[in-house]
A and B are shown apart, each in its own frame.
Chain A
Amino acid sequence: MEKIISDLSHHIRLNKGFFLWMGFLGLALIACLYAYIQQLSYGLGVTGMRDVVSWGLYISNFVFFVASSLIGMLISAVLGLIGMKWVHPITRIAETIAVAFAAVAGLVIVMDMGRPERLAYVFMYARFQSPILWDVTVITTYFVISFLLLLLPMIPDLAVLYKRFGNLPGWLKPVYKALSLNWCNLPEQNRIIRRSIYILLILIIPAALSIHTVTSWLFAFTTRSGWDSTIFGPYFVSGAFVAGTAAVIIAMFFFRKNYKLQDYLTDLHFNNMGKVLVLVAFVYLYFNINEYLVPGYKLKRADAVHLRELMSGQFALIFWLVQVCGLLIPIIMMLFRRMRKPLPLTIISAAVLLGAWFKRYLIVIPTMSHPFLPVQHVPENFKVYTPTLTEIAITLLSFILVLIIITLISKFFPVIPIVETANDKGLDPLKSIES
């Protein structure tokens, strides 16, 4: 018992590594903030976007962020509710990722606005016909539910840590006390918390499906070829599971190594997560075939241009790299048990995650580059979209924010549920502390 508690909490301390890492993130954050200030003062002209490609890196990045945040729902709700016990140590990692990405997704959208100071107008003059309104609503809802799903299951853990504080940094004590809401393991408390988590787990399923479906509708509600698709909702959702699962595997690897959690995040967990990734990647592959083969068979004029640009034109290199190295090869490799060991699986996941990011780029930019009517009498930089350094820095800014959030949550709170882990082993930490 003692061992579980100390194993799962000993990473909660301020060490050199933490300061170095946060210092690095902080510096990078300042550099990228400078880029955003540039954009605020000179307008979106500092980006590579122009009248033809009027949505670029920011919107593709937004889609990626929403996608990655969906994993919270897959792990905790879907796998959790059908009774998969092995996901227990991973749920908090998944929720942390969900909360971080969902929170920053909102900021990414603000970064894309030409008039961010008018953000309040979205609420003041809200027009419910606009899918943007739906998106704002569901992302906020999803964020709140995910946040609660991160917090509620942590209450017993925090009570344990508060009561058996050990040598944790002193200033955390009041934080734990406040957040553990006077938890003392009463049957009544247990009942309430179990009920609430259960309700939240059910609620998060439609919320999560909505956020990515509505996000896909931002595109599918237009008539442009490449976006004018009826399967965009499920296509995006399945793609989201791929990105999110890969992100969780990478996070597991780092926590396991840096926080010495080898006994809790075992080869079994990686093996199973590898299987989950194969499964969702197969589903995604299926949707990809649908998405390209159906218009490719008919070759309507605008669709033909779009597909040609993707597969043999300007975007061919990225397209094939994404499909082959980001999806096909990983699927085949992960079919082998050896490849689902922690290190190889993490490397494969990195390729998948990178592919997932570029896939969002391929969903947004090529369609914008080829509108129905010809693009004429405009400067070269209107015709071919090239992201600028400022734009890339602002995109990095969003990733830095996600890393900061994940680092802070994982550093000051137990990454793996303590009470749940103990319960799974038939122990009750609170009782053993009190006795």
Chain B
Amino acid sequence: MDENTVSNGNEQDPSKSSRRNFLKNIGLLGAGVTAGAAALYSGDIFEKKKAATGESRVLLTQDNKLVEVDSLEMKALATNPTKMMLEKGREGIPGKRWAMVIDLSKCRNARRCIAACQEAHQLKPEQYHLNTLQMQDNAETAPYHMPKNCQHCDNPPCVAVCPVDATYKRGDGIVLIDNERCIGCRFCMAACPYSARIFQWTTPKDAGKHNGEAYNVELNVPQKLGTISKCLFSADRCRDEKLPYCVSACPNGVYYFGDENEDAVTNGTTKETLRLSKLLRDNGAYQLMPELGTKPRVYYLPPKNRLFPFEPSTD
């Protein structure tokens, strides 16, 4: 990155050490500077205009420090937004371990979560990042509806088999796909035991409309022909400290979402925040096919004490 080359260059040249210190102090602005504060300090301009006369501006650096910089010393950062988002999307959100809890006793197959998800990720009606399945464990037990998304496995077989590192696991637990890199071999689809992945077989929805838009790896949009897509735990919303699209859209209080490190999850409908460990312990939480060793980050609460009759889905 630019600032690295600048500071490295200075290390070999003691005469510029004051400038180096200065650069260090303001904690150079990088590719990830948040809205309104994107600027890169230009060494050249500084050399030429030591006695800067412009008005000063207050900026927020990448590590959340406020700094004052003379406006003449600022230069808009010429960046490729897709690349910027790709780089940012490789890093998890520091300190977080996202987890989801799905309370099956509340799911009435309203499918609003699915609609919100398909809307956000530009999916066609038959493309699911999240699907509710009608389940029945055996002939004697009661049928129930089960929302099923990517389990964001901690030992993800899909990531293991990807030949180009297009699908990857982040520090905050989210498994993402870089559609700018995916070669469309679909090995990850074969490897995922939860059938969580979909492929863009045909031209994605509204492809024409989104032509030329920057690609957001944390949202997988615009969707790209010939590549993979799947649930992203709404990584873009996590970054904004908001609940995922599906979680907020559910009218029945099925979803809880939150940070395992904080041991807190929030219900998307009631906005009530609970202790994750207690919720899991008190309700006999389980995971899908844990025997496969995939270590899912999604927990299910069993479909007991349902306060409504079961209505079979039409499919």
Q: Which residues of A contact B (CB under 8 A)?
A: 42-45, 47, 49-52, 54-55, 112-115, 118-119, 121-122, 124-127, 129-133, 218-219, 221-224, 368, 371-379, 382
Contact = CB atoms under 8 A, between A and B. Distances in A.
A374 B183 contact: no
A115 B191 CA distance: 19
Contacts of A374: 133-135
Contact of A44 (B134, B184, B198): B184
A218 B157 CA distance: 12
Interface stretch (B26-34, B159-167, B276-284): B159-167
B225 A43 contact: yes
Interface of B: 126-128, 131-135, 148, 157, 160-166, 181-187, 189-191, 193-195, 197-203, 225-227, 288-289, 292, 313, 315
A124 B181 CA distance: 10
Given A43-B203, A50-B201, A132 B133 contact: no
Contacts of B131: 376-377
A379 B187 contact: no
B126, B161, B163, B292 — most chain A CB neighbours (10 Å): B163
Contacts of A130: 160-163, 187
Contacts of A122: 163-164, 183
A74 B312 CA distance: 57
Contacts of B226: 43-44, 113-115
Given A44-B226, A114-B226, A368-B190, A127 B162 contact: yes
B202 A43 contact: yes
A372 B133 CA distance: 12
Contacts of B315: 376-377
Contacts of B199: 44, 51, 54, 114
Q: Which 7 A-B pairs have the closest CB atoms?
A: A114-B184, A114-B226, A45-B202, A45-B201, A132-B163, A130-B163, A125-B164
A374 B132 CA distance: 10
Nearest to B288: A373
Contacts of B163: 122, 125-127, 130, 132-133
A251 to B, nearest CB: 32
8 contacts: A42-B203, A43-B226, A54-B189, A114-B227, A130-B187, A132-B161, A377-B126, A382-B126
Nearest to B294: A223
Contacts, number: 139
B187 A218 contact: yes
Given A43-B226, A376-B133, A377-B315, A115 B189 contact: no
A368 B201 CA distance: 16
B202 A125 contact: no
Contacts of A376: 131, 133-134, 313, 315
Nearest to A125: B164
Contacts of B288: 373
B190 A125 contact: no
B161 A112 contact: no
A45 B157 CA distance: 25
B200 A114 contact: yes
A51 B197 CA distance: 8
B278 to A, nearest CB: 29
Contacts of A129: 160-161
Nearest to A364: B190
Contact of B185 (A43, A45, A113): A113
Contacts of B227: 114-115
A121 B183 contact: yes
A382 B128 CA distance: 13
Contacts of B191: 221-223
Contacts of A45: 201-203
B148 A373 contact: yes
A223 B126 contact: no
A379 B201 CA distance: 14
Contacts of B197: 51
Contact of A132 (B187, B195, B202, B203): B187
Contacts of A50: 201
B181 A125 contact: yes
Given A119-B183, A376-B131, A126 B190 contact: no
Nearest to B148: A373
A47 B199 CA distance: 13
A127 B185 CA distance: 14
B190 A51 contact: no
Nearest to A43: B225
Q: Which of A129, A372, A376 has the most CB of B within 10 A?
A: A376
B185 A132 contact: yes
Given A43-B200, A113-B184, A377-B315, A372 B289 contact: yes
Contacts of B161: 129-132, 221-222
A274 to B, nearest CB: 37
